[in-house]
């Protein structure tokens, strides 16, 4: 049990270092490889968050999204459609986006933290997980999917 906890703590520290800081964020591309954005780890109200910057728009996601989504995908065991959607639009059932806002996920709702900008979980979190070696993501013009590694 101790070895498992030690490994988990080391893994979280390694992931944070790979994601970067505000001064030196990780540069990523959306699943269709059509747009660049950055991601870094920060703290807000005593909680670690993922800060996603797309142009001048800044979105925040709960840092736990990485471990929770990875665990869900491992359990799912197959490719899952991303289904990215803005907060104001409904998410297609059975997609990563729908899971990221579902009352049935470990958080009990939205992983997005900024009211009005809580969507697009399925657009911005999967490429980060791919860069961290946690998932595979397809890179088509539309209908992209992901699965856990």
Mean pLDDT across 120-140: 96
**Higher-pLDDT residue of 102, 3:** 102
Provide the edge-to-edge strand list for the sheet that holds 47-54.
Answer: 26-29, 36-44, 47-54, 57-62
- Two structure tokens written together for 131: 């860069």
* Residue 15, pLDDT score: 72
1 pLDDT tier (thresholds 50, 70, 90): very low
59 pLDDT tier (thresholds 50, 70, 90): very high
* Residue 89, pLDDT score: 95
In tens, the pLDDT along 9-34 reads: 456 556 777 898 999 999 999 999 99
What pTM was estimated for this model as a whole? 0.89
In tens, the pLDDT along 75-124 reads: 999 999 999 999 999 999 999 999 999 999 999 999 999 999 998 999 99
In tens, the pLDDT along 36-47 reads: 999 999 999 999
Is residue 71 within 8 Å of residue 88, measured between CB atoms?
no
d(C-alpha 51, C-alpha 145), whole Å: 22
């Amino acid at each position: 049990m101790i070895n498992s906890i030690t490994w988990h703590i080391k893994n979280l520290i390694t992931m944070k270092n790979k994601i970067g800081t505000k001064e030196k964020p990780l540069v990523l591309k959306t699943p269709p490889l059509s747009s660049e954005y950055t991601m870094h780890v920060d703290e807000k109200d005593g909680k670690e968050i993922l800060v996603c910057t797309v142009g001048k728009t800044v979105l925040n996601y709960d840092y736990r999204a990485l471990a929770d989504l990875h665990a869900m995908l491992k359990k799912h065991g197959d490719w899952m459609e991303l289904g990215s959607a803005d907060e104001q639009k409904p998410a297609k059932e059975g997609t990563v986006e729908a899971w990221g806002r579902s009352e049935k996920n470990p958080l009990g709702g939205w992983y997005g933290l900024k009211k009005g900008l809580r969507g697009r979980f399925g657009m911005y979190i999967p490429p980060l997980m791919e860069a961290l070696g946690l998932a595979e993501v397809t890179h088509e013009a539309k209908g992209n999917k992901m699965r856990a590694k």
